[in-house]
């Protein structure tokens, strides 16, 4: 076999010995250098974060048990701290090419993972709760805490939370998340670079997460409405009650001259920047508009939270005739779903708005909706009492609401009350009849329609029954109602000083519209009901032909 390695045959004995010693020294030196090169330090870990293959090397350190635990923890935290690449935090989330810290931790044995997570937790918590640096001049301050928050949340939730088994570690990270979410809320809520948005985090934390939020509801906070929404969805009774009181306090402050005066300089500055020069009255109108917009925003937040303080405030505000119409209506709108169905004072206030002649129509219209949320048995008698109101519009609103709250079994009661109504307008039967046709219960609505349309019943009930056909009548019903076309019973006359109470319908004569006075039940059928049925039948026929 040929001798391998260097040949020393031509050298003398001493020379050969010296050469062998030199080679041995080189071998020892090379081995030492190799040992030193294989020793990984924290400095190496930090440096790798800046290299293209760094994530792979960091994961190798994190997942291999030949490295000490503290170095593996540092590798994990370095992955957390890595800057995004291509808009993605690959150190946390990984990529198609690299594993992130979360996937790497999943591969570890429970014992190894527990040790590393226990080492990460204090660092994550400290970084999350580190006070923000103070701004330098007008420069925005960067919040460095997001990757730590995202990692903490992921550790607690991915794989059903199995990455963090130690109850004390879980509690520590969860408490840190709660504190983080209620700090610098306004900026953090809108940060788009987060892997997990704050809404998602709050919905996992539930009532514990939102418990600190009522303290953040303060005048001028642009996120008051978002906070109110979170408390409404996730908060416990205490949080909701505290938020309710806070919002009432803000509304009371906004609804003052002092608040307007304080905002005047900002409005002046905005005018100047826009090149506007309003006169004194125009400027006061601007301030009033500014105040109204802010107050309505508070009402919107109140609607989400509800609770007794908010309900009492909004009811009182809506009932106060000194307040502007739009604001009163908005206050009533914000009460949706929050009235106490068993509180007679709530019903009395809303019904008082319905019956008061001085109530603006806009306010009355919203009040009707609130009454509709109350139990029928609590309000029905007071609604029927409104049938005696000299304004037909009040009765119209009340009757409309009664029908919508009733079933067909209540129609006899309704008709008996309506029969006594005076000064009926034509708009009434044309509304009552169609609603009757949509009522539920047995017998079917048409049974009552045929009963009350017939002669022998007061004209108010007859017209309302015939009004059913105005919307629900078909071509087949024309023969049924033909017997009423010659009915000479007089229709009601409008009350004294009544407005918009004309009994008139428009028909087509020689393809031209012609307005006809309605003086009798026959006129009502001929000029109002039959044309509506015929027009609907013609439209239906055209649609069928087109298909």
Q: What pLDDT score does 440 carry?
A: 96
Q: Count of alpha carbons within 13 Å of 391, Cβ hemisphere only? A: 13
Q: Inform me whether the pLDDT recorded for 299 exceeds 60.
A: yes
* The token pair that represents 294 in the structure block: 């802010």
Task: Measure Cα distances from 313 to 30, 57, 249, 294, 305 in Å.
Answer: 85, 63, 10, 16, 13
Mean of per-residue pLDDT scores for the chain: 89
Contacts of 391 (CB under 8 A, 6+ apart): 357, 495, 498
In sequence order, what are the beta bridge partners of 88? 85
> In the chain, helix, strand, coil percent, each to 5?
65, 5, 30
Same domain? 240 vs 333: no
Residue 206 gets the label, from left (phi > 0), alpha (psi -120 to 50) or beta, of left
Dist CA 194 CA 147 (whole Å): 8
* The token pair that represents 341 in the structure block: 């169905």
Residue 151 lies in a domain: no
Within 85-135, residue ranges assigned H as helices are 90-93, 101-106, 110-128
Three-class HEC string of 518-539? CCEHHHHHHHHHHHHHHHHHHH
Q: Inform me whether the pLDDT recorded for 4 exceeds 60.
A: no
Same domain? 264 vs 316: no
Average pLDDT value for residue range 249-271: 93
- From 383, 381, 378, select the one nearest 367 (Cα to Cα): 383
How confident is residue 54, by pLDDT bands cut at 50, 70 and 90? Answer: confident
Same domain? 410 vs 517: yes
Domain boundary among 305, 335, 368: 305
Residue 224 lies in a domain: yes
Residue 332 gets the label, from left (phi > 0), alpha (psi -120 to 50) or beta, of alpha
* The token pair that represents 53 in the structure block: 């293959």
In angstroms, how far is the first alpha carbon of the chain from the final one?
99
Same domain? 310 vs 285: no
Q: Domain count of the chain?
A: 4
Residue 459 lies in a domain: yes
Angle at 302 between CA 301 and CA 307, to 5 degrees: 140
Distance of CA 323 to the CA centre of its chain: 28
Dist CA 172 CA 427 (whole Å): 67
How confident is residue 357, by pLDDT bands cut at 50, 70 and 90? Answer: confident
Domain boundary among 257, 289, 305: 305
Q: What pLDDT score does 370 carry?
A: 93
Q: Inform me whether the pLDDT recorded for 406 exceeds 90.
A: yes
Average pLDDT value for residue range 2-20: 47
Same domain? 297 vs 311: no
Dist CA 232 CA 30 (whole Å): 70
Same domain? 445 vs 547: yes
Instruction: Kindly report the number of other CB atoms within 10 A of residue 269's CB atom.
Output: 10
Average pLDDT value for residue range 260-267: 92
Average pLDDT value for residue range 523-535: 95
Residue 186 lies in a domain: no
Q: Inform me whether the pLDDT recorded for 464 exceeds 70.
A: yes
Same domain? 441 vs 490: yes
Q: Inform me whether the pLDDT recorded for 380 exceeds 70.
A: yes
Same domain? 260 vs 350: no
Residue 280: give the domain boundaries: 206-305
Three-class HEC string of 349-410? HHHHHHHCCCCCHHHHHHHHHHHCCCCHHHHHHHHHHHHHCCCHHHHHHHHHHHHHCCCHHH
Same domain? 436 vs 326: no
Same domain? 420 vs 343: no
Q: Inform me whether the pLDDT recorded for 327 exceeds 60.
A: yes
Same domain? 216 vs 270: yes
């Amino acid at each position: 076999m040929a001798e391998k390695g260097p040949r020393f045959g031509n050298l003398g004995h001493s020379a050969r010995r010296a050469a062998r010693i030199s080679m041995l020294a080189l071998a020892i030196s090379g081995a030492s250098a190799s040992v030193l090169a294989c020793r990984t330090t924290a400095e190496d870990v930090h440096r790798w974060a800046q290299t293209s293959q760094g994530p792979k090397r960091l994961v190798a350190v994190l997942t291999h048990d030949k490295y000490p635990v503290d170095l593996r923890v540092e590798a994990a935290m370095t992955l957390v701290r890595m800057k995004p690449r291509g808009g993605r935090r690959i150190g946390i989330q990984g990529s198609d090419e690299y594993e992130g810290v979360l996937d790497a931790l999943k591969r570890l044995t429970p014992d190894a993972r527990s040790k590393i997570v226990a080492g990460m937790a204090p660092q994550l918590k400290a970084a999350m709760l580190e006070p923000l640096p103070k701004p330098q001049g007008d420069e925005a301050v960067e919040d460095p805490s997001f990757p730590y928050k995202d990692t903490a949340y992921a550790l607690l939730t991915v794989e059903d939370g199995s990455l963090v088994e130690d109850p004390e570690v879980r509690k520590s990270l969860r408490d840190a998340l709660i504190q983080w979410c209620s700090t610098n809320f306004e900026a953090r809520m809108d940060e788009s670079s987060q892997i997990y948005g704050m809404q998602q985090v709050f919905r996992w934390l539930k009532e514990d997460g939102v418990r600190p939020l009522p303290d953040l509801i303060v005048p001028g906070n642009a996120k008051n409405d978002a906070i109110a929404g979170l408390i409404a969805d996730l908060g416990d009774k205490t949080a909701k009650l505290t938020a309710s009181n806070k919002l009432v306090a803000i509304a009371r402050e906004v609804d003052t001259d002092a608040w307007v005066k304080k905002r005047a300089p900002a409005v002046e500055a905005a005018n100047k920047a826009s090149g506007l020069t309003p006169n004194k009255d125009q400027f006061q109108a601007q301030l009033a508009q500014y105040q109204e917009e802010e107050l309505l925003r508070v009402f919107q937040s109140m609607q989400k939270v509800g609770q007794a303080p908010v309900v009492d405030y909004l009811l009182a505000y809506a009932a106060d005739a000194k307040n502007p119409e739009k604001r009163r209506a908005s206050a009533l709108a914000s009460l949706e779903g929050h009235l106490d169905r068993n509180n007679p004072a709530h019903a009395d206030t809303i019904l008082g708005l319905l019956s008061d002649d001085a109530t603006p129509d806009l306010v009355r219209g919203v009040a009707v909706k609130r009454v509709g949320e109350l139990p029928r048995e609590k309000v029905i008698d007071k609604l029927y009492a409104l049938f005696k109101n000299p304004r037909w519009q009040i009765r119209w609103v009340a009757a409309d609401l009664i029908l919508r709250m009733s079933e067909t079994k209540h129609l006899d009661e309704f008709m008996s009350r309506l029969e006594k109504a005076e000064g009926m307008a034509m708009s009434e039967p044309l509304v009552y009849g169609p609603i009757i046709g949509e009522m539920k219960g047995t017998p079917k609505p048409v049974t009552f329609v045929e009963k009350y349309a017939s002669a022998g019943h007061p004209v108010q009930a007859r017209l309302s029954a015939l009004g059913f056909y105005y919307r629900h009548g078909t071509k087949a019903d024309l023969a049924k109602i033909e017997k009423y076309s010659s009915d000479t019973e007089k229709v009601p006359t409008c009350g004294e000083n009544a407005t918009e109470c004309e009994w008139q319908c428009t028909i087509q004569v020689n393809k031209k519209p012609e307005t006809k006075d309605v003086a009798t039940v026959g006129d009502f059928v001929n000029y109002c009901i039959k044309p509506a049925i015929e027009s609907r039948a013609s439209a239906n026929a055209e649609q069928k032909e087109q298909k």
